[in-house]
Amino acid sequence: MNHIKKLAVALAIAATPVAFAAGSVDGMDMKIPAASQQSPQPVASEIKKIDAQAGKVTLKHGPIENLGKPAMTMAFPVKDRAFLKDFKEGDSVSVTFDKVGNQPTVLDMQRK
Ligand SMILES: [Cu+2]
């Protein structure tokens, strides 16, 4: 009777580290890609055209990693069109992009 109890305890101890290790590896794999995709990073861009009335700016932009977009020249809506008056065509800027209502949008723009 007594040696059966000892065997059960030994099996429980042997099984525990295996389950623990498998769980912590899964947790690490899940967290890294989710964190790197979500935070917008400033993107080096050049202002090609400003349409203050429409609240749009045409930018030659570098890769936008948080939106998964390659470098190209295209028009974006701006979140706050009032700040467009501080810029002119040809300015080199750092631009923060994110999706607003599923549309890539300029959140912030700083002259370099
Ligand atoms: Cu683009």
What's the pLDDT score for residue 87?
Answer: 97
Mention every residue, 6+ apart, whose C-beta is less than 8 A from residue 41. 65, 66, 96
What is the C-alpha to C-alpha distance for residues 41 and 86, in angstroms, rounded to an integer? 21
What's the confidence (pLDDT) of residue 89? 97
8 A C-beta contact, residue 40 and residue 98:
yes
Cα(53) to centroid of ligand 1, in Å?
A: 21
Average confidence (pLDDT) per 10 residues, the chain, 112 residues: 64 55 46 55 97 96 96 97 94 96 95 90
Q: Would you kindly state where each structural domain of the chain is located, as residue ranges?
A: 1-38, 43-111
84 C-alpha to ligand 1 centroid (Å): 19
CATH second-level architecture of 43-111?
A: Beta Barrel (2.40)
Q: Which pLDDT belongs to residue 112?
A: 87
Ligand 1 centroid – CA 106 distance (Å):
11
The alpha carbon of 64 and the centre of ligand 1 are apart by a number of angstroms equal to 8
pTM greater than 0.85: no
Locate 55 and state its tokens. Answer: 């609240």
Res 45: pLDDT: 98
